[in-house]
């Protein structure tokens, strides 16, 4: 039996629109995935893509990044799509760095921008 891809979706405030547009463009594929997202990002995706099902964690600054990091450490995330805004200061920057470190340590693909996310999904779609 083939396991459904397990993807984590996160976006900084200034990148949420981009991630929502990405989810809309790939909704057909994403319906076949187990999705987890931080709170606000997850709600925005659900509002734009009513056919998707995803598990919403807390907002990133309230611990959502750490919750997703725990899922990565438990082997429950296959890939991370995290649209980062490098031009806006982040009060929870240490949480973001910890999340990225876990993705590296556990060797899961991590897309930090639209171009890389497109490649990541293309690879997943083509097996």
Q: Hey, which residues are catalytic here?
A: 65
Helix H or strand E encompassing 36: strand 34-37
- Distance CA(114)–CA(70), nearest Å, equals 24
For the record, the structure tokens of 83 come out as 């649209």
Strand-pair partners of 6: 34
24 token code pair: 């809309």
Residues 6+ apart with CB under 8 A from 91: 61
* Nearest of 25, 38, 27 to residue 69 by alpha carbon: 38
């Amino acid at each position: 039996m083939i396991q459904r891809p397990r993807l984590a979706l996160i976006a900084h405030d200034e990148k949420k629109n981009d991630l929502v547009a990405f989810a809309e463009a790939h909704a057909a594929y994403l319906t076949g995935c187990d999705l987890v997202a931080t709170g606000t990002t997850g709600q925005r995706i659900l509002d734009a893509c009513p056919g998707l099902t995803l598990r919403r964690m807390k907002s990133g600054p309230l611990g959502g990044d750490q919750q997703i990091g725990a899922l990565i450490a438990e082997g429950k995330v296959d890939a991370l799509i995290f649209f980062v805004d490098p031009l806006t200061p982040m009060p929870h920057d240490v949480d973001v760095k910890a999340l990225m470190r876990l993705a590296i340590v556990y060797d899961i693909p991590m897309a930090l921008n639209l171009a890389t996310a497109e490649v990541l999904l293309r690879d997943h779609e083509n097996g």
